[in-house]
Amino acid sequence: MNDWDDRLLDASLQELHGSRPPDLSSRVLNALQEGSRGPLPVLRSPSTVGPVGGGGGMRWWSLAALLLAAVTLGFAVALGAFANDASPLQPQGASSFPVEVTVRSGRLECVVHDQVVAQATPERPAVFPIATGTRLHGKRASSFQLGPFGSLVVHEDTLLEVRSMEFTKQHGMVAATSLTLAVVAGVVTWQVMARTEAANAGQIVRMEAQNDDMVALRAENQRLKDALAAATVENQTLHASTVQRDPVVLQKPPEPEPVEAPKPNEPAVAVAATFDDAKYADLLAKLDWKTMGTVTAEMGPMLAELVAAMQKEGAELPMDLLLKIQKLNMKLIDQVPALLESGLPGFGPNGSYTHPLVVGNTLASTLDAAGQPLTAAQKQSIGGLVRAFAAESQAIAEASREYDLEQLLAETEMKDRFFREMGGVLQPEQSGVIFPPGAGTHDGSSLFSSGLVTQIHGQPVAAKDAADFARVASSKLAEQLGLDEAGANQVRAVLARGVSAPELWQTRGDGAENNLHMMRSGRTHAALRAQIAWMKQIQQTVALTPEQQQKLAKMKNVLVPVPR
Amino acid sequence: MPEVHSIPSDAVVRLVRRHQDEVWRYVRYLGASAELADDLVQDAFLQVLRAPFVERSDKETAGWLRTVVRNAFVRSFRRPPFEQAELDAIESNWNTFATDDGGDESLRHLRACVDQLTGRVRDVVRWHYEERCSRSTIGERLGMGDDGVKSLLRRTRTGLRNCIERRRAEGA
């Protein structure tokens, strides 16, 4: 291998690890408008470029949608069928890939070159042509499944742009393996394993396709459900025809075993909220409290089980359990768009989800589902707590602060008090339902904990000590804030001092932290306090441009030291 | 007063998105930093779009853009960063790597090869390229000197290069 070969491998490895070519089309367009014009270049006309013509005929993605219905795995399709060279609306520079989008609530548009080329609604799933530059626009808060990559929830007017997509080739078929999205505007929440993450404008979302085993399992599961539904219908038809033919002689057959047939779009049974608030009456009416309670009662022990399973030496991810949790969590995530639209105060989507009003009602319906309903006296006590803490929540959201993360700190400390006081009102049996054994040891392991909020914003940094943390974290910050080398070195020194407190380094990361990013309870909170202090130090000691200062103030992620 | 022309923006976007990845990778391969690569590639497109340029085929356009960006890269140094005699080797390596897709397939192979790495070699790749550790930091972790780490990284890249070629030959 000669020296140039070596350089080529070096540059390629850098690209694989994050140094990616950006989309320069906007920069070039802007520069063209600004600069003096010369003679016009002769560019090929779009209509003459690709084999599929422009306006009149069937669009290639329509063809893709038809073909897609014929394949089993939805996203594993022959690349040749779709890697069309160029229709007028197809993003250039990368092969497009059809991805099925199923919207559960709201509406999602696929935008290519400023034109809406497809849209998906709860009534009409759609196939989006995904390629570098494709944009996904949620005009209002929406919840949707993006092909094999998982489930997302976007705030109102959120714009996502596809930065890259990776593929593997197996058995002659091409399957998408990962998708990188840039959040251009708004906020997006998505689910990874058993946790939920969020990203804001300017941040990058990387989603991995579920592996083949899980996809095959899901396909097989769906096939069995379909077969069961068909058999049930056939059974009922035969039964009805027999009764009609000989209604007198026929004895009533034994009741069939209860089966769970698929019930798409089954309307939710309206259950009134236990604790109300006139300001949020619409929200309270929209949320499906029965589902919230049933799912929460079922999911709580599973989360504790998950964390316990990951504590064992050399533990592997319990995929069956993760699948069950994901399935249940989807039902909770479906409620998020309504929460976001309601304007309930809170730091990010889980901030709204853990608002005292939502928590109080979820607690009541969870206890109902578990057969341990609140007594009238308990309802009165918890109603008082909900009102008091909702007022405090509003005050925290409205307060003016130097750093966004200061709101997260104030909110989580308030919610810790709320959960503590609310827990004090419960009987031991009820407490066992709401706080099952093992729940709350890690962020995200309890649905009644401020850890739900911190889990989304915590970004673990594995390090052996403060200096090691400072090296990795300063590199991330330098990239995020756009610092030069001198600035990055100054930040590194501040960080090394800022995270030197022994309590940050006492306990090594365990299986749940390293594999599921579910931090030990209290770790993210301690890191958050330290971070606000070192952010102030950076502001005072490092020469930042106004733009860098603003980026620092708007930071929403907590860099959490996880001792190796 | 200069005459103002209006270039159809969708045509410009199409041209840029078609070729930007390859041209950016190429100038990074020559040794440009990511930031310099952004600027040089943007300038290369502007130069092409402002010149009496006729788009004939993707291959010709890519070749033209590479030449423009290479010249701009060389001009950014007081002394040329490589000898003119090396140009053949540079282009030959690039053509093998980029084939007809600007290097996408080679990168896919490389990712698969990296995924197969194990043990110390996997660690050294992660530390150097993902965590961006210096050679001395890696050396401390592995109990090696700077030169040892440098050799290990180079041997690893050679192994990865062979792996890419093997996968390409197998049609993986």
Number of domains present in the structure of chain B: 2
The CB-side HSE value for A425 (13 A sphere, CA atoms) comes to: 22
Q: Do A28 and B114 touch (CB under 8 A)?
A: no
Q: Distance between CA atoms of B20 and A21, rounded to whole angstroms?
A: 7
Instruction: Mutation target for A interface from B40, B49, B133, B161: give the one with most A CBs within 10 A.
Output: B49
Instruction: Please check whether residue A450 lies inside any domain of the structure.
Output: no
CB contact under 8 A, A19 and B112: no
Domain boundary among B40, B65, B98: B98
- Chain A window 444-483: which residues touch B at a Cβ cutoff of 8 Å? 471-472, 475
pLDDT band at A167 (very low <50, low <70, confident <90, very high): low
Residue contact B10–A5, C-beta within 8 A: no
| B18 contacts A92? CB cut-off 8 A | yes
B3 in any annotated domain? no
Does residue A20 lie within any of the structural domains? no
- Is residue B60 located within the same domain as residue B42? yes
Please give the pLDDT value at position A75.
Answer: 26
List, for residues A408-435, the tens digit of each pLDDT value.
999 999 999 999 999 999 999 999 999 9
Enumerate residue ranges in chain B where pLDDT < 50. Answer: 1-6
On whether residue B15 sits in a domain, the answer given is: yes
Q: What integer best gives the mean pLDDT of chain A?
A: 77
pLDDT band at A156 (very low <50, low <70, confident <90, very high): confident
What band does A260 get if pLDDT is binned at 50, 70 and 90?
low
- Residues in chain A within 8 Å Cβ distance of B111: 16, 166
> Does residue B85 sit within a domain?
yes
- How much is the pLDDT for A52? 28
Determine contact: A373 vs chain B, CB below 8 A: no
Rounded to 10 degrees, the C-alpha dihedral A48/A52/A55/A58 comes to 170
Closest residue to B16, CB basis, from A28, A35, A45: A28
pLDDT at A172 over 60: no
Q: Is A6 within the bounds of a domain?
A: no
- Give residue B88's pLDDT: 85
Residue A200 has which token pair? 């804001």
- Is residue A302 one of the residues assigned to a domain? yes
> Which residue range(s) make up the domain with B51?
9-98
- Classify residue B1: in a domain, yes or no: no
Whole-number pLDDT of residue A219: 53
**Residue A367 pLDDT level (bands cut at 50, 70, 90):** very high
B13 and B30 within one domain: yes
Write the CA distances from A281 to A176, A284, A401, B109, integer angstroms: 43, 5, 29, 56
State which residue of chain B sits closest to A471, comparing Cα positions. B133
Residues A111-121: pLDDT tens digits? 887 788 888 88
pLDDT band at A78 (very low <50, low <70, confident <90, very high): very low
Which string of b and e fits A140-160 if b means at least 16 CB within 10 Å?
A: bbbbbbbbbbbbbbbbeebbb
Q: Taking Cα atoms as reference points, which of A133, A144, A147, A65 lies closest to residue A99?
A: A147
Of A6, A14, A32, the CB nearest to B49: A32
Two structure tokens written together for A177: 């393996």
Q: Is residue B115 part of a domain?
A: yes
Tell me, yes or no, whether A436 and A485 share the same domain: no
- Kindly identify which residue of chain A lies nearest to residue B21, measuring between CA atoms: A21
By Cβ distance, the residue of B3, B41, B104 closest to A37 is B3
Q: Say if residue B74 is in the same domain as residue B117.
A: no
- Quick one: B42 and B75 in the same domain? yes
List CB contacts (< 8 A) between B161 and chain A: 1, 5, 9
Q: How far is CA B76 from CA A214, A424, A485, B51, in A?
A: 51, 69, 20, 21
CATH number where B145 lies: 1.10.10.10
* Per-residue pLDDT band at A522 (split at 50, 70, 90): very high
Residue B57 is assigned to a structural domain of this protein: yes
Name the pLDDT band for A248 (thresholds 50, 70, 90): very low
User: Cβ contact (<8 Å) for A40 and B7?
Assistant: yes
In the predicted model, what is the mean pLDDT of residues A318-329? 82
Those residues whose C-beta lies under 8 Å from the C-beta of residue B5, and which sit 6 or more positions away, are A37, A39, A40
Q: What is the ipTM, given to two decimal places?
A: 0.91
How far A474 CA sits from the closest chain B CA (Å)? 11
Q: What are phi and psi of A352, to 5 degrees?
A: -70, -40
Look at A10 and B53 and tell me if their CB atoms are within 8 Å: no
Alpha helices in B76-134 (DSSP H): 87-98, 104-116, 119-125
B13 contacts A92? CB cut-off 8 A: yes
pLDDT tens, position by position, A26-65: 778 777 765 544 444 445 543 333 322 233 333 322 223 2
Query: Is residue A390 over pLDDT 70?
Result: yes
What does the pLDDT average to over A141-160? 84
Which of B48, B81, B98 represents a domain boundary (last residue)? B98
- A241 confidence band (pLDDT: 50, 70, 90): low
Q: Say if CB A194 and CB A324 are below 8 A apart.
A: no
Q: Do A94 and B103 touch (CB under 8 A)?
A: no
Distance in angstroms (rounded) separating the CA atoms of residues A115 and A411: 40
CA A408 – CA A452 distance, rounded (Å)? 12
Tell me, yes or no, whether A336 and A415 share the same domain.
yes
Q: Do B80 and B16 share a structural domain?
A: yes
Residue A232 has pLDDT above 80, yes or no: no
A19 and B28: CB-CB below 8 Å?
yes
Range of the domain at A397: 278-443
Cβ pair B154:A6 closer than 8 A? yes
Residue A14 lies in a domain: no
Residue with tokens 């396909």: A219
Please report which residue ranges of A35-175 form alpha helices under DSSP H.
Answer: 46-49, 60-68, 79-82
Number of domains in chain A: 3
Minimal C-alpha gap between B144 and chain A (Å)? 18
Pairing of strands A458-463, A558-563: parallel
Banded model confidence at residue A446, pLDDT cuts 50, 70, 90? very high
The beta-carbon neighbor of B16 closest among A16, A24, A472 is: A24
| B84 and B14 share one domain | yes
Whether residues A286 and A420 fall in one domain: yes
Q: Looking at the domain assignment, is residue A151 inside a domain?
A: yes
pLDDT band at A142 (very low <50, low <70, confident <90, very high): confident
Is A427 in the same domain as A464? Answer: no
